[in-house]
Every structure is written in structure tokens, then in C-alpha cells.
């Protein structure tokens, strides 16, 4: 049994493929949010910003955080910098939409901020992991 587990471990030990899968799948899903902003506009976000005493033009930063940064991550170019931008975007979403339920669970027992939390923590992992070797500009 131990030999079988060792063979399985050796066969599946592909950290650069894992980095590629995490980086591309995460960034693609985050990019979908940005595509929605491109087609639907940023009026909703502008309203939230104004409600929180911030200038409405800050909403255009969403294109950096939800379009440019994910595209850079998919390509594997400036992956760590792009993940920092996404982290900032996630923190802004939490601030604008979820501060009231940050320490809450929903009716199913899940963290009320789980949706954006998954993106936040995946981006933190990508920041520390880097692009891996399967990237246009692999991290050193």
C-alpha cells in the first residue's frame, strides 16, 4: 500500500501544472466579473463608492482589478503584482458590500463573505506561489 501511495505521489507531484491550473482558472473566473462591468457599466459600484464617501471615479479601477490583472495572470506576466491588485479589489468589495456581514454565516452555515473570500485567498496563494514555469514571464 505504501508503495502504491508513493507511486501516486510521484505521478501527481507537478507543482508547476498546479500553479498553472490555479492561476488560469482563478483569473478566468475573476475576469468574468470584469466582462460584466465592461458590458453593464460601473454605475452600481459608483453608487456604492459615493454612499461610502468616496469619489465615483474610483469605480473605474474595477477595470484594472477585474480585467487587466486577470489577463496578466492568465498570461503569466507580472503574476505577483497582478495578484496584489486583485487582493486590493477583493478588499474593496468586502468594504463596500460585506462589512456588515463579515463576521456572519448564512442560513447554510457558510461564511457570508465566502464568494469574495475564495477569490481573496486564492489570490493570496497565487501571490506567494507565483506563475510557475508555464507562463509568458515565469517568476524567478
Check residue 35 and give its pLDDT.
Answer: 97
**Residue 140 in this model has a pLDDT that exceeds 90:** no
**pTM for this one?**
0.91
User: What's the CA gap between 89 and 93, in Å, rounded?
Assistant: 6
Please enumerate in sequence order all residues whose Cβ is within 8 A of that of 133, keeping only pairs 6 or more positions apart, or say none. 16
According to DSSP, the residues that pair with 105 across neighbouring strands are 111
According to DSSP, the residues that pair with 111 across neighbouring strands are 105
User: What's the CA gap between 120 and 124, in Å, rounded?
Assistant: 6
- Per-residue pLDDT tens digits for 69-115: 999 999 999 999 999 999 999 999 999 999 999 999 998 999 999 99
Amino acid at each position: 500500500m505504501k508503495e502504491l501511495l508513493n507511486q501516486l505521489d510521484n505521478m501527481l507531484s507537478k507543482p508547476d501544472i498546479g500553479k498553472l491550473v490555479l492561476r488560469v482558472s482563478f483569473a478566468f473566473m475573476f475576469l468574468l466579473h470584469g466582462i460584466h462591468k465592461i458590458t453593464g457599466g460601473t454605475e452600481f459600484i459608483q453608487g456604492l463608492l459615493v454612499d461610502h464617501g468616496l469619489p465615483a471615479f474610483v469605480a473605474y479601477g474595477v477595470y484594472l482589478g477585474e480585467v487587466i490583472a486577470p489577463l496578466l495572470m492568465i498570461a503569466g506576466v507580472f503574476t505577483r503584482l497582478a495578484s496584489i491588485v486583485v487582493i486590493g479589489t477583493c478588499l474593496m468589495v468586502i468594504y463596500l458590500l460585506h462589512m456588515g456581514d463579515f463576521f456572519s454565516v448564512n442560513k447554510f452555515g457558510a461564511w457570508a463573505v465566502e464568494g469574495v473570500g475564495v477569490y481573496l485567498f486564492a489570490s493570496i496563494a497565487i501571490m506567494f506561489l507565483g506563475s510557475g514555469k508555464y507562463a509568458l514571464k515565469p517568476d524567478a
